[in-house]
Structure formats: structure tokens, C-alpha cells
Amino acid sequence: MSIEVKVPLLPESISEATVATWYKKAGDTVKRDENIVDLETDKVMLEVPAPNDGVLKEILKETGSIVHAEEVIAFIDAVTTPAEKKTAEPAQQAAPAVSQKASVISPVQPTSPSSTSPSGSSQESPTLSPSVRRVVAEHEVDISQVKGTGKGGRITKENVMAAISASPVTTSTIDSTLTGARPEKRVPMTRMRARIAERLLEVAQNTAMLTTFNEINMAQVIDIRSRFREKFEKIYKVRLGFMSFFVRACVEALKRSPIVNASIDGNDTIYHGYYDIGVAVSTDRGLVVPVLRDADKMTTAEIEAKIAEYAEKARLGKLTLEEMQGGTFTITNGGVFGSLMATPLLNAPQCAILGMHKIQERPVAENGQVVIRPMMYVALSYDHRLIDGKESVTFLANVKGLLEDPARLILEV
């Protein structure tokens, strides 16, 4: 019988999705719960599993199509087991006058996983990571022509990029205004990238954003991390990074400057009596900001464990919309990419964001002497409609003081 493949219910606030990548083509064998297509929304990638064993009969929505919740995007000819067939036969004999439209479709024998297409290529689709899927979709790579060099023959992103570089550039990828050997390829923005661009432009147009800077001597934090890193990891099974220190310092500073933890709603100021800290994570598809709920109630180990969990989910494209919604304040770390100083953009509707940067040894003056210290520039971008210079500078000075003397975090002084 023919079974519909439908778009799943979309997360709240998302009305449509884009068909990103089909992993099967019409005529391919599919297995129940096997991912056959990825749908890209503004914020997350959704996998659509096959509802039944069978053969993918027809694809109704090709890559790039806009789809909505519950919309039918394909049909599968389901495999009828011998038991199901035996049960169906008496029913057919009892109702000989059934119309042709309602008649049972003869079962299609599934292709063995080891079977090949007429050209000799395997019909079985390889398992791809989200980053590889994205590159395959953007460059329209025939994955059957790519040889995997990863573990167990797994296809890596490097394998796909090598295949793209090796393939000849067709005339369809060259801008008609160009001549000679100067190819260009026009690739539509991913849905997520377009949404990020839209939100950033909205922030630039609708907020009075200003940035204040300071620098932090990271010697004390580095010393604590060096002394307790191995013991911490042994006890809590998670590595001790710098982000947990910044999360705890920001929470304490937010308690002292409630306006920095607030947001604007029309002509109203909303003071949040909780501390949901967003931690920006870079992925192949763009920047995502999962949220540490009630960060003020979390231990250092819980913060590090949650950040590690979010980072892994982001890498695999498994973050849920609920994990990225809300947040009262955001921290972003450009230092992991070597950034020495930058101005972070607000994560609306939040009114402030802290930017961390690279730790670099440089000469500083202490007690009348020039000494070498591991220093980090930090930047606080804020919405000047709500936060004045005094509050922003005070907040950043508190963060600096708490990190330069971490004992204050324990004593909350």
C-alpha cells in the first residue's frame, strides 16, 4: 500500500521549512525510521524518518521547496509482510466490489541493501554528518561518486570538498557577465543564514547599540584552572574551561546591575528575576545560542557539562528550538578563533551581550613596574535606550574584578 510522508509538526513560531537534502531518490529502498530527508527551518534542522519499510515511490517536494506542517512531501510503497498479506486476502474476497481507487496496491519487493542500480552504484545511502549534508546540499554533489576516507569508509567534509574541487565547472555555474576562466557559483543562502542576516539587520536598525571595553588580567583564573584541571575532570568527567568562570562572574555582576539583565517591550522595561545565560556556539550552518537556564543555581561543573552538551548537539545539528529560546543575557567568545578585539551585536530582545577575546601576554604596569601578564580584552555591547554608560561600565568593572580575584565569586563580595 502507498503511505504518505508528511512534514512533522513544526516548532512554535515557525510556520514553514525548506527541503534541504533528500538522502533517497525515487525507486530507492527505505527502512522504517531511517532519515530520508532534512528540512531546514529558521533555527533548527529537522530530520524526517521513513514511516515504514518499503520503496520511495514518488518525491513531491524537491530540494529547495518551501513546505508547511503536515504537508505531504513523498509517497512510499510499503512492504507487505506474509502475515499482512494473509490477513488482507480474506478481506479482499469478502469485498469484491471495491473500487479501483481503493484497491490494495500489490506489494513491491524491497531491494536488498547490497543491491546496485543499473549503473552499478549502491542504492544504500551513506550516513552523513550534518556538516557534510549541508555541503552536499549547497553544491549539489552526487554522493555516490564520493569515496569516503573516514572511519569505516565514512564520507567526511574534506572528501566532499575534494570532490567539488576535482569536478569540472559547468557553464550553469558561471555568471553570464563573465568571460574567460573566472567562474562564479551562485548559491542561495541557507534558511538559517538568511534568518541570521535578517535578525542582525533588525538589531542594527532598531536599537541604539553602544559598546564599552575593558581588559582583564587572567592570571588568577589560569592559575586555578591549571591547579585543579585534572582533579576537576577526574571527579566531574568534564573539562574545566574558561566559560564557566565568565558565566558565574556575569551572573554575579547582573545581580548588582539588574538593568543589564532587563529587556524592552514597547514602552515598558521588563526586569527578569532569573538569569538565563545564552552561550554563543559556532557551527557550520551559522551561530546558534543555546541557553543555560537558571545559571545562578548551577555549579561550575554543571555549567561546563551543559556547555559541552550544547556544543556536541550544535555540531550534530541536534539542538532543539526550546534549548535556544529565551535568554536574558548572552556571552560570545571570539577568542577561540584568535580575535583580539571585536564589537558583538545584541541578541534581541536582550539588551546586552559580553564578548570574550583571545588571551595574550603583553606588558602592563603594576605598582610602578612593567610586567608581562596574560590579558584579555572584553567588550560589552548594550542598548543605550535602556542602559546608560554608568551601568554598562559598572557591570564590566564588576566582571573584571570578580575574574581578577576569583575568591570574590565564592564569597559573593
Name beta bridge partners: 21: 38
Residue in this structure with the C-alpha cell 527505505, named with its chain if needed: 30
What's the confidence (pLDDT) of residue 300?
Answer: 94
Output the CA–CA distances (angstroms, integers) from residue 211 to 343, 345, 352, 380, in the order listed.
Answer: 7, 9, 9, 5
The residue behind cell 601576554 is 361
Q: In degrees rounded to 5, what are phi and psi of residue 112?
A: -65, 145
pTM over 0.85: no
Could you read off the pLDDT of 107-135 as tens digits, one per residue? 434 434 443 344 444 444 566 776 677 67
Q: In degrees, to the nearest 5, what angle opens at C-alpha 83 toward C-alphas 109 and 122? A: 25
The model's pLDDT over 333-342, given as tens digits with 9 standing for 90+, comes to: 998 899 999 9
Domain ranges of the chain: 2-123, 126-188, 192-411
Q: Annotated catalytic sites, by residue?
A: 384, 388
Buried b or exposed e, range 165-178, using 16+ CB within 10 angstroms: eeeeeeeeebeeee
- Rounding to the nearest 10 degrees, give the CA dihedral for residues 151, 155, 159, 161: -140
The class that CATH gives domain 2-123 is: mainly beta
Query: What is the separation, in whole angstroms, between the first and last Cα of the chain?
Result: 70
For residue 292, what are the CA distances in angstroms to 32, 315, 410? 35, 18, 20
Render pLDDT for 87-110 as a digit per residue (tens, 0 to 9): 545 544 544 443 343 333 334 344
Burial classification of residue 257, based on how many CB atoms lie within 10 Å of its CB (0-12 exposed, 13-18 middle, 19 or more buried): buried
* 375, 346 contact by CB (below 8 A): no
Q: What pLDDT, on a 0 to 100 scale, did the predictor assign at position 198?
A: 85
Residue with cell 532519515: 35
Q: pLDDT at position 132, please?
A: 74
Contacts of 231 (CB under 8 A, 6+ apart): none
Q: Given pLDDT bands bounded at 50, 70 and 90, which one contains residue 343?
A: very high
Give the angle subtended at the CA of 405 by the CAs of 400 and 409, to the nearest 5°.
90
| Backbone CA torsion sign across 225, 230, 235, 240 | positive
Place 380 in a pLDDT band, splitting at 50, 70 and 90.
very high
pLDDT at 229 over 60: yes
What is the CATH topology of the domain spanning 192-411? Chloramphenicol Acetyltransferase (3.30.559)
Amino acid identity at 161: M
Distance, CA of 47 to CA of 126 (rounded, Å): 15
Superfamily grouping for domain 126-188? E3-binding domain (4.10.320.10)
Top-confidence residue, 150 or 94 = 150
User: Taking 60 as the threshold, does the pLDDT of residue 177 lie above it?
Assistant: no
